Chain A
Amino acid sequence: MFSAMIKKELLLVLRDKHALMALFVMPAIFILIMSVAMRDQFSVKNIEFTLFVKDLDNSAMSKELLSSIKDDATFHLTQTQKSADFMLEIPKEYEKESNATLHLFIQSSLKENEIKAFESIFSEYIYKVRFGAITEAIEPFAPDVAKQLSEFEFSVDKLYDVEYNNSKLLPNSTQQSVPAWIVFGMFFIIIPMSTIYVNERKQNTLARLNSMNISVFSMTLSKSIPYFLINQVQVWIMIAVGIFLVPLLDTPALEINGSIFAILEIAVGLSLTAIGISTLIAVSASSSEQATTIGGISNILLGAIGGVMVPKFIMPESMQKLAELSPMSWGLDGFLDIFLTSADSSAVFEDFAKLATFGLVSLTLSMILLHFRIKKRL
């Protein structure tokens, strides 16, 4: 009996081409597009500043300064001021006046952090040439001190011994896009589920099944299992897209650092929530149009709040707190932990527990509502 109900539901979904597009093609396309589109924003690449230098001093010091930045790939010297983000004017008497200030002209479109980075890196060279001049001046009187000063390293990299803390790793564009659109795609089971559910209820097929001694619990469970299976297939297909298709577009492939069992755990929790919400909407709606509209809008809202459309780590703190209310965010956090760190099943258990509880509560409410709706009409 149960297998027949599952088979029926699977046949109905698999014959619905629009539903299959929404469940499999749409998230795969989103993964490809968004991974490529956000590639540069997420990548940690070498910083490069375009710089135009106007040397009014034309001294040995100014020439040394120019010569040293020419050798640094961070700076790309331009021939015209127009094409540069930064314009540096070395004033007359710069070498002679030790407190002379360099004039820096900056494109107003630049961000504060880019300006600070430029100032920080360029300052290394200023200190170096000024220190060089001082060293040279004192060498005849105190050669030992001059030797010590000449051995001093001005590079910021040499000043700090940097060690990374992996608790707040940032994803690359693929690691962000794959879980985000997996989560989003899983919630799109609302479309086939609500269409079939509403038609069954409207045409009294559910009432007929009920008159054949099929309980509301059996109906709900037999509908949930096929969508659960579809959700699991979705997860692995989207992961495969991230691993095998995304690199074809010159974008980093999806790397999974955590445990496969943890992926299964989050996929199960997410599926329970997606099925719970979808069933609740399908049972509450009075037409399939209403169900797909409500379902679509709620998916987009949950996705926008939950970090699917905009990554959570670039949201302001208040929005990040709001994101915690979206079940999509719980699933996304779980997947990101697995993809970025070596998270195992126990590490993502909290996310799983929240998702599973939410899903089971929604399913229970759906069953109560469906029971009353069947009883109300023949």
Chain B
Amino acid sequence: MLKVKNLTKRYGKKVALNNLSLEIKKGSVFGLLGVNGAGKTTLLSILNGLMDFDEGEVSIDGVSLKDEKRKVKSFSSIIPQHLAFYENLSVEENLEFFASIQKATKEDYEKAIEVNYLGELLKQKASTLSGGQKRRLNIAIGLLNNPKIIYFDEPTVGVDPKSRNEILDSIKEYKKLGITVVYTSHYMSEIERICDEVAIVSDGRVIEQDTLENLLSNKVSDKVMVESVFNEKLSTLGLKLLDETTVETTQKKLFEVLKLLEKNEIALKQIRYGSTNLEKHFLEITGESSV
């Protein structure tokens, strides 16, 4: 779906992207990790046609970005970190405006509303929405052109746990629709939860790219990660939580944890054996103290 070869971008003497190469499969949810200043934002700006690059080749769905930028833009979409819509317009007015300028079909318009649970909020002024609802509107706008590829630039910053779960669940839905997702986030647990493949960017280069499974299975330990469906009770059970849905435990204590979850009617999503979390791996490979 996306092929980036020897991409270089300079800001004066500073090299933001240094011969960066990357390949993303069609229909995958791809995580892009890197510390601040690693080059993620520059890469996303280039892939969206907002910024020109100095050297290299980029092709998206077989279309060269350099030669046919307008065409690439027409089937790509970016969900910016900031809430890029109009607070003084209603949800419906915002969606109609962005749908109109992208010539969205009625079907795409309705799908964007449905996938992001905005049906009940259409008449509400955007400024009166909760943080999570605003994020969902921000995402819905990005779906209006029925994109083949969507870039998420840290879409869950400042979002409450419930809304974050809804957003992450909706991203999984895009995979079912055949949309390729490129996802950047500071929350490693989110990447672990939704991504199939991950690339770690450092100093303008991809220093590691692999499937999430391969990345994590190399770090064998006694630990087990139990991922559940979001439930507020989980945080009250005294378990060690990696995030609001993932419990870290050991193989020895696994049975006990599962029984506790069952007793509290908390549904399971998956169990990962013998792996450590992505954050530890990221810190090891980049040598950074924090993300």
Interface residues of A (CB under 8 A from B): 1, 3-5, 7-8, 11-12, 15-16, 199, 202-205, 207-214, 374-375, 377-378
Contact = CB atoms under 8 A, between A and B. Distances in A.
B161 interface: no
Given A15-B88, A203-B82, A205-B86, A214 B50 contact: no
A259 B257 CA distance: 87
A1 B73 CA distance: 16
B98 A212 contact: yes
A211 B78 contact: yes
Nearest to A11: B89
B264 interface: no
B86 A378 contact: no
Nearest to A14: B88
Nearest to A206: B84
Given A211-B49, A378-B45, A378-B50, A4 B89 contact: no
Interface stretch (B99-107, B171-179, B197-205): B99-107
29 contacts: A4-B96, A4-B100, A5-B97, A8-B89, A8-B93, A11-B88, A11-B89, A12-B88, A12-B89, A15-B88, A203-B82, A203-B83, A203-B85, A205-B84, A207-B50, A208-B80, A209-B101, A211-B49, A211-B77, A211-B78, A212-B73, A212-B101, A212-B145, A213-B70, A375-B52, A378-B44, A378-B45, A378-B48, A378-B153
Nearest to B41: A378
A139 to B, nearest CB: 92
A8 B49 CA distance: 24
B83 A211 contact: no
Nearest to B70: A213
A1 B50 contact: no
A214 B145 CA distance: 13
B136 to A, nearest CB: 16
Task: Rank and list the top 7 A-B pairs by shortest CB-CB distance, nearest first.
Answer: A4-B100, A208-B84, A205-B84, A204-B80, A203-B82, A211-B48, A378-B45
Interface string B244-260: 00000000000000000
Nearest to B94: A8
A377 to B, nearest CB: 8
B51 interface: yes
Interface string B26-41: 0000000000000001
Interface range on chain B (Cβ under 8 Å from partner):
35 or more
Contacts of A213: 70, 73-74
A215 B90 CA distance: 25
B76 interface: yes
Nearest to A211: B48
Contacts of B88: 11-12, 15-16
Contact of B50 (A4, A16, A199, A375): A375
A212 to B, nearest CB: 5
Contacts of B41: 378
A1 B44 contact: no
Interface in B142-192: 145, 153
A211 B89 contact: no
A3 B141 CA distance: 18
Given A207-B80, A378-B51, 10 more contacts: A12-B88, A15-B88, A208-B78, A211-B76, A211-B77, A212-B73, A377-B45, A378-B48, A378-B50, A378-B153
A220 to B, nearest CB: 15
